[in-house]
């Protein structure tokens, strides 16, 4: 083949690459999401092979489900969203606008809550907010009465903020860092006060990211389940608690109907948010981030002193909600039955690694599997997510529908997806007389990518929307293919969003439990969260030790992802 024909072929591939990735995305979604979920949702609308609305109508006419469960679930999700914003936005401000030692590292570590198994969070929260917890001991040390926080709605809300405030912080930080400083300078030079410049120039550029953080937090906490029962109790049961218990009781029509209602709420909210996001077309341009300042002001004015006090107070709250629970888990992993220091739990992990049977979970393979699956997820989810972001920021008929459908993996109950994967992939589908089953490592990676790519899309799409369309048009009029324009022009401009999305993709993969355990082929493809669950026993020690390994490995990989991702973007 001549060099010219190779170039022609490469160009042809380049021209069709976006379409190709979009088609692949559709196939992956269909096989690993839409088809499996359909096998479950069918139970809500089919009886004896005929369409029926009876099961869904039964849920929608039940006062118990409507008021005690669904309305309550929405209420706690709303409070959780407010708490996550209150805790996450100041962090975004600090990360985007201040310079302090360890800022990059700290920012990388904000991903940790995302990967934490709920039992670990429960252990940390009981040790922090319980009757004999750190908070109450601190209160009694300064002569204040104890607070009873556990087994209340407040405990659930704080735990939800623990999981979701970092999400808000990360998404908003990425947007804040891509605010063009020149737009603010222009406003200021035209006489706007700093406050006015923030309100009229910066805030409009942040709102889509705040919106995405709030929407996702609401959707995630709307479907929350283990943490609700661990820290609240069954009297505060949410809709997902009932989906789970109906599935366990094999009452599939009722379970599916509840899940359909749950999904409808989440999808509607997603659609409302996406309409809003699409309407935001604020000015933007080349990344030229706002300058950072020191946390401790160089000259003390009443205003700067107030700011410093505020930051200190915020740091105290962060310490209580994030640092103390995580520290408590680490302490629990080195505490023995008699309350003294012990390394027995880590010795257990070493022993299990050395002598465990083939059908038992071993720590090292779990770590390696987690890392391999995360790498695989990264490689698949980033192109999927970026492609969907490109597609959903173009204007065409039916775009809204595609946009919402591509976000659906967020809106469907994890229990339903798990059951669907079991029915659709593990048991297999009959195609032309052959039963096709899809399990093992590839299936796990693909399932993780399905759960992860919407994060990439949501981090990147708002930045794409802000790009000046003329940039791409000029590139294309100069002969660049669409793919070339994307890689050379647009991606560098939205790189902060790509890195932010990639970090989420890795976190989703490392923290994923439901699909992993269903698609795993025996103990050989188990991951770290599965190992944590398997090591739970009468003593919580071994599980907490495995949980600490999970934290350690995740922290290390995030420092690498963020550093490497950041550098790459600067090239």
Partner 1 sequence: MRRRSFLKAAGAGGVSALLAGCAGTGGEETTTEASGDATETTATTHGTTAGGESPTLTVGTYGSFVDAPSSSPGPWLKEAFESEFDATLAWQTPDSGVNYYIERALRGVESGADLYVGLDAQMLVRIDENLDGALFSPAAGLSRLGDVNEQLNFDPQGRAVPYDTGYISLVYDETYGDGDSEFVAPETFDGLLESEYAGALLAQNPTSSATGQAFLLHTIDAKGEDGYLDYWASLKENDVRVLGNWEDSYNAYSNGEAPMVVSYSTDQVYAAESGEDMVRHQIRFLNDQGYANPEGMAPFADASNPDLAAEFMDFMLRPEVQAEIAVRNVQFPATTTAELPEEFAQYAREPPEAVTFSYDRLQNNLSDWTDAWAREFASK
The footprint of partner 1 on residues 64-123 (CB under 8 A) is 64, 67-69, 72, 119, 122-123
CB contact set of 316 (below 8 Å; sequence gap of 6+): none
Helix or strand holding residue 185 (H, E) = helix 181-189
| Burial tier of 433 (Cβ tally within 10 Å: 0-12, 13-18, 19+) | exposed
- Contact positions with partner 1 (CB under 8 A) in 249-278: 249-253
CB-nearer residue toward partner 1: 524 or 569? 524
Q: Which is nearer to partner 1, 430 or 570 (CB)?
A: 430
Looking at 30-152, list the stretches that DSSP marks H as alpha helix, in order from N- to C-terminal side. 35-45, 54-60, 63, 72-97, 103-109, 112-115, 118-129, 134-141
Q: To 5 degrees, how large is the angle CA 563–CA 371–CA 513? A: 120
Using CA atoms, how far apart are residues 346 and 350, in angstroms rounded to an integer? 6
Nearer to partner 1 among residue 266 and residue 525 (C-beta): 525
d(CA 182, CA 420) in angstroms, rounded, equals: 50
Per the CB < 8 A criterion, the answer to whether 133 and 127 are in contact is yes
Q: Does 242 bind partner 1 (CB under 8 A)?
A: yes
* Distance, C-alpha 55 to centroid of its chain: 32
**Candidate ranges 18-26, 157-165, 244-252, 395-403; the one touching partner 1 (CB under 8 A):** 244-252
What span, in angstroms and rounded, lies between the C-alpha atoms of 182 and 188? Answer: 10
The set of residues, in sequence order, having a beta carbon less than 8 Å from that of 224 and lying 6+ positions away, is: 77, 80, 156, 160, 238, 240
Give the x/- contact pattern for partner 1 in 402-441, rule: CB under 8 A.
-----------------x--xx---xx-x--xxxxxxxxx
DSSP state of 424: I
Instruction: Candidates 82, 467, 539, 566: give the one binding partner 1 (CB under 8 A).
Output: 539
From 94-102, 162-170, 173-181, 235-243, give the range in contact with partner 1 by CB under 8 A: 235-243
Among 538, 567, 570, 571, binds partner 1 (CB under 8 A): 538
DSSP class of residue 430?
E
Tell which one of 61, 359, 396, 398 touches partner 1 (CB under 8 A): 359
Q: Judged by CB under 8 A, which of 2, 3, 48, 51 binds partner 1?
A: 48
Helices 72-97 and 153-177: angle between axes, nearest 10 degrees = 40
H-state helical runs in 395-440: 399-411, 414-421
Determine, following the binding rule CB under 8 A, whether residue 126 of this chain makes contact with partner 1: yes
347 sits near partner 1 (criterion: CB under 8 A): no
- 243, 257 in Cβ contact below 8 A? no
For position 302 contacting partner 1 by CB under 8 A, the verdict is no
By CB under 8 A, the residues from 203 to 232 that bind partner 1 are 226, 228-230
State how far the Cα of 462 lies from the Cα of 209, in Å rounded to an integer.
Answer: 7
Query: What is the footprint of partner 1 within residues 323-342 (CB under 8 A)?
Result: 336-338
State the minimum distance, in angstroms, from the CB of residue 528 to partner 1.
15
Could you say whether residue 542 binds partner 1 (CB under 8 A)? yes
Among 155, 167, 324, 540, binds partner 1 (CB under 8 A): 540
226 or 285, CB closer to partner 1?
Answer: 226
Q: Provide CB contacts within 8 A for 263, sequence distance 6+.
A: 408, 411, 412, 413, 416
Q: How far is the CB of 332 from partner 1 (least distance, A)?
A: 9
398, 522, 567, 570: residue in contact with partner 1 (rule CB under 8 A): 522
Name the residue nearer to partner 1 (CB basis): 118 or 387.
118
Which CB, 208 or 542, lies closer to partner 1? 542
- Least distance (Å) between residue 334 CB and partner 1: 14
Encoding tokens for residue 292?
């950072």
Please report how close the Cβ of residue 217 comes to partner 1 at its closest, in angstroms. Answer: 22
Contact range with partner 1 by CB under 8 A, out of 156-164, 233-241, 266-274, 488-496? 233-241
Task: Name the minimum Å distance from CB 115 to partner 1.
Answer: 19
**Candidates 197-205, 404-412, 537-545, 563-571 — which segment interacts with partner 1 by CB under 8 A?**
537-545
Q: Which is nearer to partner 1, 17 or 361 (CB)?
A: 361
User: SS3 for 570?
Assistant: helix
Q: Which helix (H) or strand (E) holds 436?
A: strand 434-436
CA 156 to chain centroid, in Å, comes to 18
Count helices and strands in the chain by DSSP H and E runs: 30, 6
C-beta of 196 vs 437, nearer to partner 1: 437
Give yes or no for residue 377 binding partner 1 (CB under 8 A): no
């Amino acid at each position: 083949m001549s060099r010219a024909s190779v170039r022609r072929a490469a160009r042809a591939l380049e021209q069709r690459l976006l379409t190709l990735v979009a088609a692949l995305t559709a196939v992956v979604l269909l096989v690993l999401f839409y088809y499996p979920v359909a096998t479950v949702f069918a139970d809500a609308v089919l009886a004896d092979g005929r369409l029926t609305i009876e099961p869904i109508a039964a849920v929608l006419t039940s006062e118990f489900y409507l008021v005690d469960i669904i309305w309550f679930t929405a209420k706690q999700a709303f409070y959780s969203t407010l708490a996550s914003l209150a805790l996450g936005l100041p962090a975004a401000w600090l990360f985007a606008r201040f310079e302090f030692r360890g800022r990059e590292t700290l920012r990388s570590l904000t991903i940790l809550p995302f990967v934490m198994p709920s039992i670990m969070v429960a252990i940390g929260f009981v040790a922090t907010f319980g009757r004999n917890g750190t908070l109450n001991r601190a209160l009694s040390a300064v002569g204040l009465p104890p607070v009873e926080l556990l087994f209340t709605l407040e405990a659930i809300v704080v735990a939800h903020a623990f999981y979701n405030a970092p999400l808000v912080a990360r998404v908003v930080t990425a947007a804040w860092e891509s605010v063009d400083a020149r737009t603010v300078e222009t406003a200021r030079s035209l006489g706007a006060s700093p406050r006015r410049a923030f309100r009229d120039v910066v805030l409009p550029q942040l709102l889509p990211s705040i919106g995405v953080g709030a929407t996702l937090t609401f959707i995630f906490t709307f479907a929350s389940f283990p943490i609700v029962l661990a820290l609240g109790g069954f009297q505060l049961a949410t809709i997902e608690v009932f989906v789970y218990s109906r599935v366990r009781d094999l009452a599939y029509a009722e379970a599916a109907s509840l899940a359909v209602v749950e999904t409808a709420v989440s999808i509607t909210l997603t659609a409302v948010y996406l309409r809003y996001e699409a309407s935001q077309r604020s000015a933007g341009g080349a990344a030229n981030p706002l300058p950072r300042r020191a946390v401790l002001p160089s000259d003390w004015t009443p205003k700067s002193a107030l700011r410093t006090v505020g930051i200190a107070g915020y740091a105290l709250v962060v310490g209580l909600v994030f640092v103390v629970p995580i520290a408590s888990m680490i302490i629990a992993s080195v505490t023995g039955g008699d309350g003294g220091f012990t390394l027995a739990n880590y010795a257990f992990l070493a022993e299990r690694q050395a002598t465990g049977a083939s059908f038992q979970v071993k720590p090292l393979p779990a770590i390696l599997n987690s890392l391999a699956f995360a790498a695989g997820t990264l490689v698949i989810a980033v192109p999927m997510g970026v492609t969907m972001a490109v597609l959903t920021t173009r204007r065409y008929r039916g775009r809204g529908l595609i946009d919402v459908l591509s976000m659906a993996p967020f809106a469907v109950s994890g229990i339903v997806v798990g059951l669907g994967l079991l029915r659709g992939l593990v048991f297999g589908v009959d195609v032309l007389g052959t039963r096709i089953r899809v399990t093992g490592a590839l299936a796990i990676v693909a399932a993780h990518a399905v759960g992860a790519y919407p994060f990439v899309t949501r981090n990147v799409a708002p930045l794409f929307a802000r790009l000046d369309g003329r940039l791409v048009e000029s590139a294309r009029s100069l002969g660049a293919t669409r793919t070339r324009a994307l890689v050379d022009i647009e991606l560098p401009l939205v790189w902060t969003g790509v890195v932010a999305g990639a970090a989420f993709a890795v976190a989703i993969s490392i923290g994923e439990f439901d699909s992993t355990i269903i698609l795993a082929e025996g103990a050989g493809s188990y991951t770290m969260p599965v190992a944590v669950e398997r090591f739970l026993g009468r003593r919580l020690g071994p599980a907490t030790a495995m949980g600490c390994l999970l934290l350690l490995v995740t922290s290390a990989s995030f420092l690498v992802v963020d550093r490497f991702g950041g550098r790459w973007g600067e090239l």
